[in-house]
Amino acid sequence: TSTTPPDAALRARAQAVIPGGLWGHLNAAKLPEGYPQYFTSAEGCRLRDANGREYIDFMCSWGPVVLGHRHPVVEAAARRQADQGDCMNGPAPVLVELAELLVDTIPHADWALLAKNGTDATTACVTIARAETGRRKVLVARGSYHGAVPWCSPSLAGVTAEDRAHLLTYDYNDIASLEAAADQAKGDLAAVIVTAFRHDFGRHQEMPTAEFARHLRALCDATGAALIIDDVRAGFRIDLGGSWEPLGIRPDLSAFSKAIANGHPLAAVTGRERFRQAATQVYTTGSFWCGAVPMAAAVATINELRRIDGPARMRAMGERLRNGLDALSRQYGLPIRQTGPAQMPLMIFDNDPDWRMGDTFCATALRHGAYFHPRHNMFLSCAHAEADIDQALEAAEAGFRAVAGR
Output DSSP code: residue 401: H
231-270 residues near ligand PMP, rule: CB under 6 A: 232-233, 257
Q: Are 117 and 62 in contact (CB under 8 A)?
A: no
From the list 116-124, 125-133, 203-211, 373-381, the region that binds ligand PMP by CB under 6 A is 116-124
Cβ-based nearer residue to ligand PMP, 230 or 304: 230
Cα–Cα–Cα angle for 33, 69, 254, rounded to 5 degrees: 95
Shortest Cβ 394–ligand PMP spacing (Å): 30
Smaller CB distance to ligand PMP: residue 223 or 301? Answer: 301
Residue 104 burial by Cβ neighbours in a 10 Å radius (0-12, 13-18, 19+): exposed
Report 135-194 residues binding ligand PMP (CB under 6 A).
145-148
Beta carbons within 10 angstroms of residue 209's beta carbon: 14
Of 403, 405, 361, residue with least CA distance to 58: 361
Looking at the Cβ atoms of 197 and 371, the one nearer to ligand PMP is 197
**Site for ligand PMP contains 208 (CB under 6 A):** no
The CA–CA distances, whole Å, from 295 to 127, 173, 265, 276, 400 equal 24, 35, 9, 21, 42
Give the footprint of ligand PMP on residues 342-371 (CB under 6 A): none
The rounded distance, in Å, linking the Cα atoms of 206 and 258 is 20
By rule CB under 6 A, what count of residues binds ligand PMP?
Answer: 13
Interface stretch with ligand PMP, choices 69-77, 118-126, 283-291, 377-385 (CB under 6 A): 118-126
Q: How far apart are CA 195 and CA 208, in angstroms?
A: 9
Least Å distance, CB 76 to ligand PMP, is 25
CB of 230 to ligand PMP, least distance (A): 5
DSSP label of 245: G
Which residue is nearest to ligand PMP, using beta carbons? 118
Determine if residue 379 is left, alpha or beta; phi over 0 gives left, psi from -120 to 50 gives alpha, anything else beta: beta
Residue nearer to ligand PMP on the CB measure, 360 or 377: 377
- Site for ligand PMP contains 117 (CB under 6 A): yes
CA 189 to CA 274: how far, in whole Å? 16
Nearest CB to ligand PMP, comparing residues 84 and 153: 153
Question: In whole angstroms, what is the distance from residue 321 CA to residue 304 CA?
Answer: 23
Per rule CB under 6 A, is residue 22 in the interface with ligand PMP? Answer: no
**Cα separation, 73 vs 150, whole angstroms:** 38
Binder to ligand PMP among 37, 61, 81, 122 (CB under 6 A)? 122
We find the least distance from the C-beta atom of residue 232 to ligand PMP, in angstroms, to be 4
> Minimum distance between the CB of residue 143 and ligand PMP, rounded to whole angstroms?
11
CB of 339 to ligand PMP, least distance (A): 16
Contact residues for ligand PMP (CB under 6 A)? 117-119, 122, 145-148, 195, 230, 232-233, 257
